[in-house]
A = this chain, B = another copy of it.
Amino acid sequence: MNQSTAQKTPESGAEQKSHVLTLPLENSHVDRSPHTYERWLVAKLVRMAGGPSVRFRLWNGDIIEPEGQQAEFTLHLTDPKALYALVTNPNLAFGDLYSAGRLEVEGDLPDLMEALYRAVHQARQKWPKWLEALWRNHNPRSTGISEAKENIHHHYDLGNEFYRLWLDNAEMQYTCAYYETPDLTLEQAQLAKLEHVCRKLRLKPGMTVVEAGCGWGGLARYMARNYGVKVHSYNISREQLAYAREEAHKQGLDNLVEYVEDDYRNISGQYDAFVSIGMLEHVGKENYQAMSELIKRCLKPDGIALLHSIGRNRPMLMNAWIEKRIFPGAYPPSIGEFMQICEHSDFSVLDVENLRLHYAQTLSHWMERFTENEDKVSTMYDEHFIRAWRMYLAGSMAAFRAGSLQLFQVVFTHGDNNTLPRSRQDLYNFPAAPEEA
């Protein structure tokens, strides 16, 4: 029996959404003894995954310990079909089974996920080709204009009330924060990120900025408030835009900030700065050339562009579960892949910074707040959704900790622009974070 995820009516009265995290959820709890080959499959699975420190507890209570070690974590499989799903497509099934409650984890979830990432990363270098193909290949969804709308709607229109529960309450930033010092609050670190980005763009009053993908509009408002620049921000998420416009209006920024409901591909005009924070992951490699031409077109001769994106150390597909259930169409590029954007239009890269561990810390803060607010989330979404979200946050945190994901900020200009910042000293003249959030 397939059961689609039931969504409770949220307190905020946001619309019903039926597309969220649908997956087969079978109530197939059994207590028959596992077959010999099922036990063999478990041992094989653990070995192929690089021998992480996990034991399995099967549906009848049988325990399978890993070879030659005292396991740190226990994975409990509630039914034989869960095992088969895990063996044939672990990347997708792990998240699905966890969300459905058919795979239970004993031990810290982010720590377990980090251990899995590290073990698999080592192991996969020795995988035979067929296993690589079986476990890794999947076709990410298209990121064409109409599909992009759906992809973005799927995730970003879950309801502003939902995101408000666990994002910072300074500027609702749903991207990596910048922890200049380890003790910053989430709010301080998000404001520090906005400040860091503005400094990298060398903004001055009166300049014009175009932003591709603006989330809840926090960067645009920050730029207008603190740097006196005019910002055009593009987004295709209606829920986010509604919030962004309301906030800008409240803050009296209507004359400086314009939020445009349109695809980034339709940006027109010329600007002193082009900025995009956390959108490139959704652009798709097949659109990098068009994106490059877009930036070429709308950046003034002396303008500076900054792209901030999740990335990889080498080309690799997004984790299948994340791509299918959380971020449809997502693809984090390696710097080599990223360079297609720069090389195609003869852009000159001025600065690349990797904030990987800052994203791990950001996710840790988000997860803390999400966990504190699970009660409130449960008035909006069902248990399945909550478990999926927990897995998404924990898995992402683990991926950044294990070095499976990176966070790149890349600054570039036209190749023949000679009005360049002399050094990066000006990024560090005083702390980017406010003293108190």
Binding site for B on A (CB under 8 A): 118, 121, 178-182, 313-315, 334-336, 339-340, 342-344, 346-354, 356-357, 401-403, 406, 408, 415-418, 420, 422-425, 427-428
CA distance A424 to B352 in the complex (A): 12
Report whether B424 and A424 are in contact in the complex, using a CB–CB cutoff of 8 Å.
Answer: yes
Report whether A343 and B315 are in contact in the complex, using a CB–CB cutoff of 8 Å.
Answer: yes
Among B179, B353, B418, B422, point to the contact of A179 (Cβ < 8 A): B422
Report whether B403 and A348 are in contact in the complex, using a CB–CB cutoff of 8 Å.
Answer: yes
Q: Is chain A's binding surface mostly helix, strand, loop or mixed?
A: mixed
- For residue A417, which residues in chain B have a CB less than 8 angstroms away from its CB? 403
Among B313, B339, B416, B425, point to the contact of A347 (Cβ < 8 A): B313
- For residue A334, which residues in chain B have a CB less than 8 angstroms away from its CB? 339, 343
- For residue A403, which residues in chain B have a CB less than 8 angstroms away from its CB? 348, 415-418
Report whether A335 and B349 are in contact in the complex, using a CB–CB cutoff of 8 Å.
Answer: yes
Report whether A425 and B313 are in contact in the complex, using a CB–CB cutoff of 8 Å.
Answer: no
Q: How far is the CB of A194 from chain B (nearest CB, A)?
A: 15
Q: How far is the CB of A173 from chain B (nearest CB, A)?
A: 18
Report whether A180 and B351 are in contact in the complex, using a CB–CB cutoff of 8 Å.
Answer: no
Among B343, B406, B423, point to the contact of A313 (Cβ < 8 A): B343
Q: Given A342-B335, A349-B352, A354-B351, is A425 in contact with B422 using a C-beta cutoff of 8 Å?
A: no
Report whether B347 and A343 are in contact in the complex, using a CB–CB cutoff of 8 Å.
Answer: no
Among B313, B314, B353, point to the contact of A351 (Cβ < 8 A): B353
CA distance A402 to B418 in the complex (A): 8
- Which 7 residue pairs spanning A and B have beta carbons closest together? A352-B352, A336-B339, A314-B343, A428-B428, A403-B415, A403-B416, A425-B428
Q: Which residue of B lies closest to A419 (CB)?
A: B357
Report whether A356 and B349 are in contact in the complex, using a CB–CB cutoff of 8 Å.
Answer: no
Would you mind naming 9 contact pairs between A and B with Cβ atoms under 8 Å apart?
Answer: A121-B415, A180-B422, A313-B343, A313-B415, A334-B343, A336-B343, A348-B403, A349-B406, A403-B416
Report whether A314 and B425 are in contact in the complex, using a CB–CB cutoff of 8 Å.
Answer: no
Report whether B343 and A180 are in contact in the complex, using a CB–CB cutoff of 8 Å.
Answer: no
Report whether A420 and B346 are in contact in the complex, using a CB–CB cutoff of 8 Å.
Answer: no
- For residue A427, which residues in chain B have a CB less than 8 angstroms away from its CB? 424, 428
Q: Which residue of B lies closest to A196 (CB)?
A: B423
Among B351, B401, B416, B425, point to the contact of A352 (Cβ < 8 A): B351
- For residue A423, which residues in chain B have a CB less than 8 angstroms away from its CB? 178, 180, 428
Among B313, B348, B418, B422, point to the contact of A348 (Cβ < 8 A): B313
CA distance A416 to B182 in the complex (A): 20
CA distance A334 to B348 in the complex (A): 10
Report whether B420 and A357 are in contact in the complex, using a CB–CB cutoff of 8 Å.
Answer: yes
- For residue A182, which residues in chain B have a CB less than 8 angstroms away from its CB? 422
Report whether A402 and B428 are in contact in the complex, using a CB–CB cutoff of 8 Å.
Answer: no
- For residue A352, which residues in chain B have a CB less than 8 angstroms away from its CB? 349, 351-352
Q: A314-B344, A334-B339, A403-B418 are in contact. List 20 more A-B contacts (CB 8 A).
A: A121-B415, A180-B423, A181-B422, A313-B343, A313-B346, A334-B343, A335-B339, A336-B340, A336-B342, A336-B343, A339-B339, A348-B356, A349-B354, A349-B408, A350-B353, A357-B422, A401-B418, A403-B416, A424-B427, A427-B428
Q: How far is the CB of A117 from chain B (nearest CB, A)?
A: 10
